[in-house]
Each structure stands twice: as structure tokens, then as C-alpha cells.
Amino acid sequence: MTEANVSADKRLDAYMGLYKTQMEHFRNTVQIEWRVTFAAWTLLVVLSYAAADKGIRLPGLAWLVFVVPVLHIVWLYLIQGSEDVDKSLWVSYRRKALDLVGYPAARTDVDFWTKRSAWKHSIWIVLECGVTALLAVVAWRVLGSSSPM
């Protein structure tokens, strides 16, 4: 079946369905991003607390806490790439639906609405990983010290 054989109403319904599905996927991806981020932060805080309050020391292995920020930055880079794909798709579906109802295009190129500058793309990764790195340094200092703090 070609697009010409499908009524405008059915095409509009199809684009709106695709738009809503992609938006939901985007929202779920953002939730997963934050859940993993809070899990990484919680892990580092718990390690710091255990070392400070319970006297647990791992001087030779304390450096392992820096695996968390490394994994976190890789995770954030990949998940934000997924969010960019989701956003480009829902913007495209929305634009096609708007075209069907005759809404004038402010800007027709999808990339204008979906591409983030290197600065905007990096700022969230830097901020989130900055907190992770700070917590890792605290955990490293507490776990690596030879005496209770």
C-alpha cells in the first residue's frame, strides 16, 4: 500500500501514534539515564559512608572507585546518543503530522531542531560526571586512608 492510497486522516493518526510512541521511548530513556546516575552516586556515597563510619579500609584497592566515573561517562555518552536518535525521530514524525494539517513550518530541516551543539551535548555529561568524579575522590580518600577519619 502506498502513501497516496492512504487517507490523510489515517496518515495523521499513524504519524501521531509514531510520535507518541517515540516520545514515550525518549522519556523512558531519560528516566533510565537518571536511575543509573543516581545508582552510581549512591554506590560511591555508601562506600564512603562504610569507610568513614564502619572503619572499612582498602588502601591497595581504593583506586577501583575510579572505575565508576569511567563507566559512567561511557554510559552517558551512549545513552545521550540514543536520546538524540529518539528526538530526531519524534521531531520528524511531529513535523509530518503538522504538514498534514497545514501547519506552517518554522524551520523545515529536522537537524535544526534535534542537533545539539558540542557544548550543549557535553554540558550534561560534564556536570553529571563531575559529581561522580567528586564522589569517587571522596570515596578514594576515605577508603585509601590508613586511619579512620
Q: Cα 17 to chain center, whole Å? A: 24
Q: Is the model more confident about 59 or about 12?
A: 12
pLDDT band for 144, please (50, 70, 90 cuts): confident
Number of domains in the chain: 1
Query: Residue 87: what pLDDT?
Result: 87
Residue 118 lies in a domain: yes
Query: Residue 1: what pLDDT?
Result: 53
What is the enclosing helix (H) or strand (E) of 120? helix 118-144
Residue 85 lies in a domain: yes
pLDDT per residue as tens digits for the range 108-143: 555 554 566 777 778 888 999 999 999 999 999 988
Query: For residue 59, is pLDDT > 80?
Result: no
Query: Residue 108: what pLDDT?
Result: 57
Do residues 133 and 69 lie in contact, with contact meaning Cβ atoms separated by under 8 Å? yes
Domain coverage including residue 99: 3-144
- Write the Ramachandran bin of 102: left for phi over 0, alpha for psi from -120 to 50, otherwise beta: left
By CB atoms closer than 10 A (0-12, 13-18, 19+), residue 135 is: buried
- Which residues are CB-contacts of 63 (< 8 A; sequence separation ≥ 6)? 140, 144
Query: Residue 130: what pLDDT?
Result: 95
Q: Is the pTM of this model over 0.95?
A: no
Q: Give the separation between CA 80 and CA 122, rounded to whole angstroms.
A: 10
Residue 109 lies in a domain: yes
